[in-house]
Amino acid sequence: MIPAIAVIFAVIIFPWVFTVWMSLNDWRIGMSSEFIGLGNFQMLATNNRFLSTIPRTLYFTFLSVLLPVVLGVFAAEVFHQKFPLRGLLRGIYIAPMMATPVAIALVFTMMFHPQIGVLNYLLSLVGIPKQLWVYSADTVIPTLAFVEVWQWTPLVMLIVLGGLASLPTEPYESAVIDGASQWDMFRYITFPLILPFLMIAVILRTIDALKSFDIIYVISQGGPGTASETINLYLYLQAFSFFQIGHASAVVIVFFVLILALAMILLVARERLRWNR
């Protein structure tokens, strides 16, 4: 028990204490640190570059949560059926969420290549003009979200599949007798029953999409310009490119509060759903 507590202290509590202390200091690597109280936070509140990362992060998160939920429910319905090779195909389907993000991001980088990327070629086969993907400020966030969706839809699928497996069969039997269509059955029976599972998926996805880093860092480095600079990318820039540790620690705290707030809202919504059932 003692080592367990020591471990938890070392990897969870200590970093937090350290970060909070650093956020009250002005410290750049290679210079002496100076206590400035809430100065870092005041700076953040008026820093346009930082402020602009917040809506950007939310936009990316929104896409990276909504699309996996829609596609994940569809995929779960598919894998809920029986068909040959189901196990193997299911394994392949969930492979993206288990693949190493850095490796995946590098492959997507090549696929998005403006001159010789394979994706533009595939589009040209069906008559769609070349896209700029991550090379244009307008399309970079949806493109990165597309990679995120590719990678994380399987997680939603798994959670929903677990939900489908636990469904009772009676309502469906009576619905068939009443002559209900497939869509009606989904709408009035399946969806309300898997909603709690979906909420879990939404909470998990929201937390992780907000924190998404590897993919954005490897594929676009926050560019073009600052078009894909999410809070996490800004944090990285401050900490590991500019070495402004104090400033970066303040970003961590603001970022954390934001994630916590969103997670809380979703948790409250989930409780509400429970009561209404």
Partner 1 sequence: MESVAQVSQFDLNYRLKKLLGRIGLFFAVFVVVSPAIFVFLWMLSLSLKNEIDNIAYPPVFIPSPPTFDNYFKIFRESNYVLYAYNSVIVSGAATLIALVVGVPAGYGIAKGKAQGLGMLIMIARITPGLSYLIPLFTLFRFLGISGSLLAVTISHLVLTIPMVVWVMISFFEDMHPELEEAALTDGCNVWQAFYRVAMPIARPGIAVAAILAFIQSWNNFLFGVVLAGRETRTLPIAVFNAMTFEQLSWGPVAAAALVVTLPSLLLTIFVQRDIVTGLAAGGVKG
Partner 2 sequence: MSDKITRRDFLKSSVLAGAGLASASLLNACAPTPEPTKAPAPAAQPTAPAVVKTTGDKFDWKRFKGEKIEALLIKNTQGDIMAQNIKEFEELTGITVGVDQPAEQQQRQKLAVEFQSGQTSFDVVYYSFHVQKRLFGKNKWVTDIRDYLKDPTMTAPEFDWDDFSAAGKAWATEPDGRIDALPNKIDYGVLYCNKDLFAAKGVALPKTFDDVVSAAQKLHDPSKNVYGFVGRGLKNANAYLWCLMVLGWNIDLIDDKLNLNTTTPEAIESAKFYQNLQKNFAPPGVAGFNWNESQSAFALGQVAMWWDGVGFAAPLEDAKSSKVVGKVAYVVAPAGPKGNWAGMTGDGLGISSFSKKKGPAWYFAMWAASKSILAKSFAAGSGAQARNSVYTNPDALKNLTVPKEWVDTVVASGKIGRAALPIVVPVTEFRDIFGVALTNMIGGADPASELKKATDEFKPILEKSEKA
Q: How far apart are CA 240 and CA 264, in angstroms?
A: 30
Residue 242's binding partner among partner 1, partner 2, none (Cβ under 5 to 8 angstroms by kind) is: partner 2
Place of tokens 């860092």: 217
- If binding means CB under 8 A, how many residues of this protein chain bind partner 2? 29
Residue 150's binding partner among partner 2, partner 1, none (Cβ under 5 to 8 angstroms by kind) is: partner 1
Residues 222-241 that bind partner 1 (CB under 8 A): 232, 235-236, 239-240
Residue span 245-274 as binding mask against partner 2, x where in contact by CB under 8 A, dash where not: ------------------------------
Q: Does 140 bind partner 2 (CB under 8 A)?
A: yes
User: Is the Cα torsion angle 145, 151, 157, 158 positive or negative in sign?
Assistant: negative
Residue span 18-37 as binding mask against partner 1, x where in contact by CB under 8 A, dash where not: xx--x---------------
List beta partners, residue 34: 26
Place of tokens 């954390």: 256
Residues 180-239 that bind partner 2 (CB under 8 A): 220-226, 237
Q: Does 169 bind partner 2 (CB under 8 A)?
A: no
Pick from 4, 116, 125, 165 the residue near partner 2 by CB under 8 A. Answer: 116
At residue 153, what are phi and psi to the nearest 5 degrees?
A: -55, -40
Q: How far apart are CA 211 and CA 208, in angstroms?
A: 5
Residue 75's binding partner among partner 2, partner 1, none (Cβ under 5 to 8 angstroms by kind) is: partner 1
- Find the radius of gyration of the CA atoms of the chain: 23
SS3 25: strand
* 12, containing H or E segment: none
Pick from 33, 52, 90, 142 the residue near partner 1 by CB under 8 A. Answer: 90
- The distance of closest approach from Cβ of residue 27 to partner 2 in the complex, given in angstroms and rounded to an integer, is 10
Quick one: which segment of 2-10, 55-63, 76-84, 111-119 binds partner 2 (CB under 8 A)? 111-119
Cβ-based neighbours of 220, under 8 Å, separated by 6 or more: 134, 140, 144, 227, 228
Q: How far apart are CA 214 and CA 221, in angstroms?
A: 10
186 half-sphere exposure, CB direction, 13 A CA radius: 8
Q: Does 126 bind partner 1 (CB under 8 A)?
A: no
Q: Does 115 bind partner 1 (CB under 8 A)?
A: yes
Q: Does 118 bind partner 1 (CB under 8 A)?
A: yes
* 34, containing H or E segment: strand 34-35
Instruction: Provide the Cα torsion 191, 205, 74, 126; round to 10°.
Output: 150
Compare residues 79 and 217 and give the one whose CB is closer to partner 2. Answer: 217
Share of the chain residues as helix, strand and coil, in percent rounded to the nearest 5: 75, 0, 20
Q: Does 23 bind partner 2 (CB under 8 A)?
A: no
User: Please, what is the end-to-end C-alpha distance for the chain in angstroms?
Assistant: 40
Residue 223's binding partner among partner 2, partner 1, none (Cβ under 5 to 8 angstroms by kind) is: partner 2
Pick from 18, 188, 242, 256 the residue near partner 2 by CB under 8 A. Answer: 242
Q: Which residues would be at the binding site for partner 2 (CB under 8 A)?
A: 28-31, 49, 113-116, 130, 132-137, 140, 220-226, 237, 240-243
